[in-house]
Chain A
Amino acid sequence: MIKVLAKSIREYKKPSLMAPILVSGEVVLECIIPFVTAELVNRIKAGCSMRELLWFGVVLIVMAALSLAFGALAGASCATASCGFARNLRKDMFYNIQRFSFENIDKFSVSSLVTRLTTDVTNVQMAYMMIVRTAIRCPLMLIFSFVMGFVMGGKMALIFLVTIPILALGLAAVIRKTMPLFRRVFRKYDALNSSIQENIRGMRVVKSYVREDYETKKFYDAAEDVKTDFTRAERILALNNPLMQFCIYVVMVFVLSFGSYLVITTQGLALDIGQMSSLLTYSFQILMSLMMLSMVFVMITMATESAERIVEVLSEESVLKNPENPVKEVRDGSIDFDHVSFRYSKKAKRMALADVDLHIRSGEVIGMIGGTGSSKSSLIQLIPRLYDATEGTVRIGGVDVRDYDLETLRNQVSVVLQKNELFSGTIKENLRWGNEQATDAELEEACRLAQADEFIQQFPHGYDTYIEQGGTNVSGGQKQRLCIARALLKKPKILILDDSTTAVDTRTDALIRQGFREFIPETTKIIIAQRVASIQDADRIVVMDGGRIDAVGTHEELLRSNEIYREVYYSQNKVGGDEHDQ
């Protein structure tokens, strides 16, 4: 895990290494300064000269300035190191996700990817900052203070052997107790938040059924439950402070009473007053370092889960790779499925497609129909190599799709996906996804073909109308038509519409198909639909059932010979049958 993460440090190795070095300098000075000040105090007591006093002052101020310089530089390089690391992590993840094939994408949910790129990275960033800052600082401080404590206090420092284990054990116990609690409560907290999301999304249902009070009650219960757990965890965690205070107080009382005894009985030989007060300072530093260490430890443990989730994305390898010497040109729009079988993952027992053999001529219009789960979408996704066939080959223009340059292939095979997305930006910007260089005239032409021009013109800002995230400010049918226009702008050799006119009314649907026939006759078109009306004028219709081709033929042929097709057709036309026969 650390190896994978470390790869993202890159140009921030220098600040990452500089920070601990600078911190060491800071620590050394921080430890020496009280030593020197103790000396200064002693000199004042001894009644030293003004010169001597000034000399000490200058030395101390120089040291403070150095310490400040070290500290500030350490802080700055620490910030650069951790933020830079986080930036690289986000970048590497995003870039890797862009390399994902559909199979990889299917593995991760959108919200989990978003969390990984934001919250998880932030957690790791904080932990990294802590590590860089304190990895050296705390142990160094601990050892130094410990040694100084013994140098100064001699046997007195033995008190540390009592208090340190108490504190360490106490802190460890608190961590041990709270970590599982926190982990559990964070899961509950996530569940609480997703229930809020559910409520917001389903607000129409809530209000329709007048369930506001019920929802509130449900939420109260869940919120109280989270509260109870959180409070329990926090109460245990809140023991840290008093525990720390307790240890400090024990040391203080001990040093003051036993120290006084030593000072008096040995006449300041075993311990003088200055040493006694330094001892107090060092003991404070030791306990603080321990406290810090425990905090770092908590942070690292909490960040570990985040780190694991990040590594999962980083180490996910795309299963689709560009070939060595890719073919950069697609000859024509013919498609051949040679005994193709396909399953979504190696573990899947069932084949999504079994032994599909289908040959489509360039320029042909193919309709495709079949129930949910009949694998229509799976079949067409093999054409632009969104997935690779498990067995058999898919060829376009006579060449295996695996031999093409991926970009070339996907530019020539334009798919309008079932789950379509527009992106925030103007209509023009969205359309130019299809072709960056497209002129305004070309955009309008594509939109006319997709029957989108008319409604776009009606918008106050026309083609410069801003589309909100997720395309929420256009209707479903408008969105689908924009998506078709976008796909047309590629001027592909093969155009695939995967159930992409469901929200478009039948008349517009027909107009779109008519446009295809008239203006892009040489493009091979595959149209998947639930409505027979959308495909019955195709050159050939493929009926899919359970991952196999059930039949191929024209509308009339299938109506005569195919059971499934006939059933679908009559169920959709049972009442209006008369009109159709006119």
Chain B
Amino acid sequence: MTNKKQAKRTQGMSVLPRLFKTLFEFYPVLLPVVIVCILFNAVVSSIPSIFMQKVIAVLEANWQAAEWSAISGQILKLVGILAFFYVLSLIAGFAYNQMMAVITQGSLAKMREKMFSGMQKLPIRYFDTHNHGDVMSYYTNDIDTLRQMISQSFPQLTISMVTVLTVLGIMLYYSLWLTLVVIAGVICITFVVKKIGGNSSRYFVRQQQALGRTEGFVEEMMNGQKVVKVFCHEEKACEQFDQINDALFADAEKANRYANMLMPVLNNIGNVLYVIVALIGGTLLLENVPNASISGLAFSISIVVPFLNMTKQFCGSISQVSSQLNSVVMGIAGLNRIFDLIDEQPETDEGYVTLVNAREKADGSLEECEERTNVWAWKHPHGDGTVTYTRLQGDVRLFDVDFGYTDEKIVLHDISLYAKPGQKVAFVGSTGAGKTTITNLINRFYDIADGKIRYDGININKIKKADLRRSLGIVLQETNLFTGTVMDNIRYGRLDATDEECIAAAQLAGAHDFITRLPLGYDTPLSGNGASLSQGQRQLLAIARAAVADPPVMILDEATSSIDTRTEAIVQRGMDALMTGRTVFVIAHRLSTVQNSNAIRVLDHGRIIERGTHEELIAQKGTYYQLYTGSLELE
């Protein structure tokens, strides 16, 4: 759905109609068919009791006669019809069970896909401000509750409801008085279900929350288990765990107690109801009370006996409904969360300047073309209908940029800087000075509050985000690799790159050597963020990935994590190779790597406090000088 996100978060039962709408969109044909099948199955399944009653009535009338041949026709006809309905019921049952399996899994898959593709469109801000574990649980816990609800609760509820209604109809067909007795019982049952079932649902929801807390605590402690050991904090950890664990137990016990009690209670209310119906029925029989019913039949044993059976069936159906209560309550909670994710506001993009392949015409101007020419141009449509082409060069300028992650707190003040094509600009400063933030702005992970950023003279707000990002390469501090082969990971930079191009990129990055030493070379599968590789090797892959993308502008965020000096030298060589001929922004954590930059910007608390080349800044004897010589000066 494309309409604007509702101001209020979706809550409560109101999600159910939306779920049905969504399911209907997924399966516009199959869903109605399955509903019809379920209804049909339910109706057909309750009909046989009529014929059973008829058979028994025939027997009642004739059993002393002992003339099988006289009534065999009658009975076999009834049994035949019965069998016919059974066959119908079996077919409908088989069909709906099969279709339901398809619909359940299909809907879950589509729901997942909807969530995932929606999530891809969310801005980085969403991921920076949401706990990743919480986002994950939409896909695991919440989808699981939905599965239970769609596959079991819905058909079960539909069947039970239909059964209740048909049985009610048949009951009325036989006797109004007895039906009233049963209805009184139902009111009683409803009350009990509300009481016990309500408690049970409440505690189940609490149990889920307690489970979440336990999971969070355990995860934190397991992550820091070595720290726990080093600080002899084991007993403390156990104490804390006991508290959380006991709370979980208390909720789980109550939830399950109520849930377990519900069935016996309902069954026996059913039994009592049975007895009461039998007693009242018997009394009515004995006293010869006139019957009131649709059929107009007088009271007889052939009414009371099937009626008793129906009482059983009726109570059974109501128990079935109640047993689905918990999964429905949990399903609705999960559904609310899922729709919250789907309703998140996607990243907006008003850009209209695009990046196209271009060819130089004789007069030196550019024209658009289809094939890959390695010449790129910004295609800029103007208000008056004309289109201009600007060559992609990698000229990035920031003018008086202010920025804050929240409106209240500005973290960058008045940042102005420029990088001409091929220049290397380095950012130096302590943690939190705002170095990474600047790079977040250039590729528009975040939008600036004030000021202007121009790329090849074009305001970056006018450039389509996808094209802007395609023209920028980023090597992040923390390397993220994806499950797949080494080759897949390099090709991530440019999907249509050939194997040769990927290998060339790896060679440029200095990754080729170690890759060829891997057991399967470029085909070595990686998983768990490249867990089998060392920190340095993963960085080399990230560099190769950026190299294959071959963008005119690069943003390099140096890794802070420690790698040994030799590997560092190799990584550094890779980075240097990648930087040649490009506009580069380097976020430096080691001063040794920035000295050959064209320009160094020293940042402090979101402001540029010094700018110049290495030599100029050393001569200034300012903060850079102090940072640079810090380790010596402070002796």
**Are B549 and A209 in contact, with the CB atoms below 8 A?**
yes
Would you call B55 an interface residue if the criterion is a C-beta within 8 Å of the partner chain's C-beta atoms? yes
Annotate A143-177 by CB proximity to B: 1 below 8 A, 0 otherwise.
00000000000000000000000000000000000
Would you call A238 an interface residue if the criterion is a C-beta within 8 Å of the partner chain's C-beta atoms? yes
**Are A506 and B631 in contact, with the CB atoms below 8 A?**
yes
Query: Which residue among B66, B101, B108 has the maximum number of chain A CB atoms within 10 Å of its CB?
Result: B101
CA distance A511 to B629 in the complex (A): 13
Would you call A10 an interface residue if the criterion is a C-beta within 8 Å of the partner chain's C-beta atoms? no
| CB under 8 Å from chain B, chain A span 51-69 | 53-54, 56-57, 60-61, 63-65, 67-68
CA distance A490 to B304 in the complex (A): 83
Q: List residues of chain B with CB within 8 A of the CB of A470.
A: 220, 223
- Which one of A90-98, A290-298, A343-351 is at the B interface? A90-98
* Residue in A195, A203, A210 whose beta carbon sits within 8 Å of that of B124 in the complex: A203
Would you call B635 an interface residue if the criterion is a C-beta within 8 Å of the partner chain's C-beta atoms? yes
Would you call B256 an interface residue if the criterion is a C-beta within 8 Å of the partner chain's C-beta atoms? yes
Would you call B560 an interface residue if the criterion is a C-beta within 8 Å of the partner chain's C-beta atoms? yes
- Which one of B92-100, B387-395, B516-524 is at the A interface? B92-100
- Mostly, the A contact residues are helix
**Are B562 and A277 in contact, with the CB atoms below 8 A?**
no
Would you call B567 an interface residue if the criterion is a C-beta within 8 Å of the partner chain's C-beta atoms? yes
Chain A proximity of B561: nearest CB distance (Å): 6
Considering only CB atoms and an 8 Å cut-off, how many residues of chain A contact the other chain?
Answer: 171
CA distance A213 to B59 in the complex (A): 71
Q: List residues of chain A with CB within 8 A of the CB of B536.
A: 372
Would you call B257 an interface residue if the criterion is a C-beta within 8 Å of the partner chain's C-beta atoms? yes
Would you call B431 an interface residue if the criterion is a C-beta within 8 Å of the partner chain's C-beta atoms? yes
**Are A47 and B286 in contact, with the CB atoms below 8 A?**
yes
CA distance A407 to B67 in the complex (A): 94
- Which one of A249-257, A331-339, A353-361, A393-401 is at the B interface? A249-257
Q: List residues of chain B with CB within 8 A of the CB of A424.
A: 220
CA distance A83 to B93 in the complex (A): 36
**Are A71 and B257 in contact, with the CB atoms below 8 A?**
no
CA distance A229 to B263 in the complex (A): 34
Would you call A211 an interface residue if the criterion is a C-beta within 8 Å of the partner chain's C-beta atoms? yes
**Are A242 and B219 in contact, with the CB atoms below 8 A?**
no
Would you call A419 an interface residue if the criterion is a C-beta within 8 Å of the partner chain's C-beta atoms? yes
| CB under 8 Å from chain A, chain B span 278-321 | 278-279, 281-283, 285-286, 301, 304-305, 308-309
Would you call B260 an interface residue if the criterion is a C-beta within 8 Å of the partner chain's C-beta atoms? yes
Chain A proximity of B13: nearest CB distance (Å): 27
| CB under 8 Å from chain A, chain B span 91-142 | 93-94, 97-98, 100-102, 104-106, 108-109, 112-113, 116-117, 119-121, 124, 127, 131-132, 135-136, 139-140
**Are B230 and A415 in contact, with the CB atoms below 8 A?**
yes
Closest chain B residue to A108, Cβ basis: B222
Known: A94-B218, A113-B222, A510-B634. Contact between A216 and B232, CB under 8 A? no
| CB under 8 Å from chain B, chain A span 90-132 | 90-91, 94-95, 97-102, 105, 110-111, 113-114, 117-118, 122, 125, 129
**Are A37 and B628 in contact, with the CB atoms below 8 A?**
no
Closest chain A residue to B467, Cβ basis: A210
Known: A78-B260, A98-B234, A505-B430. Contact between A53 and B630, CB under 8 A? no
Chain B proximity of A482: nearest CB distance (Å): 12
Q: List residues of chain A with CB within 8 A of the CB of B445.
A: 204, 207
Would you call B410 an interface residue if the criterion is a C-beta within 8 Å of the partner chain's C-beta atoms? no
Known: A68-B265, A71-B267, A207-B469. Contact between A197 and B634, CB under 8 A? no
* Residue in A60, A198, A253, A503 whose beta carbon sits within 8 Å of that of B271 in the complex: A60
Query: Which residue among A249, A417, A434 has the maximum number of chain B CB atoms within 10 Å of its CB?
Result: A249
Closest chain B residue to A54, Cβ basis: B279
Would you call B180 an interface residue if the criterion is a C-beta within 8 Å of the partner chain's C-beta atoms? no
* Residue in B60, B132, B534, B634 whose beta carbon sits within 8 Å of that of A201 in the complex: B132
**Are B105 and A37 in contact, with the CB atoms below 8 A?**
no
Query: Which residue among A48, A63, A423 has the maximum number of chain B CB atoms within 10 Å of its CB?
Result: A423
Q: List residues of chain B with CB within 8 A of the CB of A434.
A: 231
**Are A118 and B431 in contact, with the CB atoms below 8 A?**
no
* Residue in B52, B228, B255, B480 whose beta carbon sits within 8 Å of that of A204 in the complex: B480
- Which one of B246-254, B376-384, B414-422, B447-455 is at the A interface? B246-254
Would you call A465 an interface residue if the criterion is a C-beta within 8 Å of the partner chain's C-beta atoms? no
* Residue in B62, B261, B465, B483 whose beta carbon sits within 8 Å of that of A72 in the complex: B261
Chain A proximity of B346: nearest CB distance (Å): 10
Q: List residues of chain B with CB within 8 A of the CB of A556.
A: none
**Are A208 and B63 in contact, with the CB atoms below 8 A?**
no
- Mostly, the B contact residues are helix
**Are B220 and A64 in contact, with the CB atoms below 8 A?**
no
CA distance A510 to B628 in the complex (A): 12
| CB under 8 Å from chain B, chain A span 204-231 | 204-216, 219-220, 223-224, 226-227, 230-231
Would you call A509 an interface residue if the criterion is a C-beta within 8 Å of the partner chain's C-beta atoms? yes
Closest chain A residue to B246, Cβ basis: A87
CA distance A499 to B116 in the complex (A): 39
CA distance A114 to B222 in the complex (A): 8
**Are A84 and B249 in contact, with the CB atoms below 8 A?**
yes
Q: List residues of chain B with CB within 8 A of the CB of A90.
A: 214, 245, 248
Closest chain A residue to B493, Cβ basis: A209
Chain B proximity of A7: nearest CB distance (Å): 17
**Are A417 and B227 in contact, with the CB atoms below 8 A?**
yes
* Residue in B234, B275, B565 whose beta carbon sits within 8 Å of that of A64 in the complex: B275
Chain A proximity of B374: nearest CB distance (Å): 19
Q: List residues of chain A with CB within 8 A of the CB of B259.
A: 75, 79
Q: List residues of chain B with CB within 8 A of the CB of A111.
A: 219
Would you call A580 an interface residue if the criterion is a C-beta within 8 Å of the partner chain's C-beta atoms? yes
**Are B116 and A219 in contact, with the CB atoms below 8 A?**
yes
Known: A80-B253, A406-B232, A415-B230. Contact between A423 and B483, CB under 8 A? no
Known: A267-B66, A433-B231. Contact between A76 and B283, CB under 8 A? no
Would you call A308 an interface residue if the criterion is a C-beta within 8 Å of the partner chain's C-beta atoms? no
CA distance A239 to B93 in the complex (A): 9
Q: List residues of chain B with CB within 8 A of the CB of A75.
A: 257, 259-264
**Are A203 and B560 in contact, with the CB atoms below 8 A?**
no
Query: Which residue among A237, A245, A276 has the maximum number of chain B CB atoms within 10 Å of its CB?
Result: A245
CA distance A483 to B626 in the complex (A): 26
Chain A proximity of B489: nearest CB distance (Å): 10
| CB under 8 Å from chain A, chain B span 534-560 | 534-536, 545, 549, 560
| CB under 8 Å from chain A, chain B span 47-69 | 48, 52, 55-56, 58-60, 62-68
Chain B proximity of A461: nearest CB distance (Å): 15
Closest chain B residue to A106, Cβ basis: B226
Closest chain B residue to A511, Cβ basis: B634
- Which one of B4-12, B74-82, B167-175, B507-515 is at the A interface? B74-82
Closest chain B residue to A240, Cβ basis: B97
CA distance A414 to B566 in the complex (A): 29
Query: Which residue among B63, B278, B565 has the maximum number of chain A CB atoms within 10 Å of its CB?
Result: B565
**Are B632 and A507 in contact, with the CB atoms below 8 A?**
no
**Are B237 and A98 in contact, with the CB atoms below 8 A?**
yes
- Which one of A258-266, A299-307, A519-527 is at the B interface? A258-266
Known: A97-B222, A507-B634, A510-B630. Contact between A60 and B275, CB under 8 A? yes
**Are B211 and A576 in contact, with the CB atoms below 8 A?**
no
Q: List residues of chain B with CB within 8 A of the CB of A95.
A: 238
7 contacts between A and B (CB under 8 A): A105-B226, A114-B222, A210-B470, A231-B105, A469-B131, A503-B431, A505-B627
Rank and list the top 8 A-B pairs by shortest CB-CB distance, nearest first.
A71-B264, A75-B260, A202-B480, A421-B224, A507-B630, A79-B256, A227-B109, A68-B268
Beyond A207-B445, A506-B631, A533-B631, list 12 extra A-B contacts (CB 8 Å). Answer: A41-B304, A45-B305, A71-B264, A195-B483, A207-B469, A208-B472, A209-B549, A235-B98, A252-B48, A415-B230, A475-B432, A514-B634
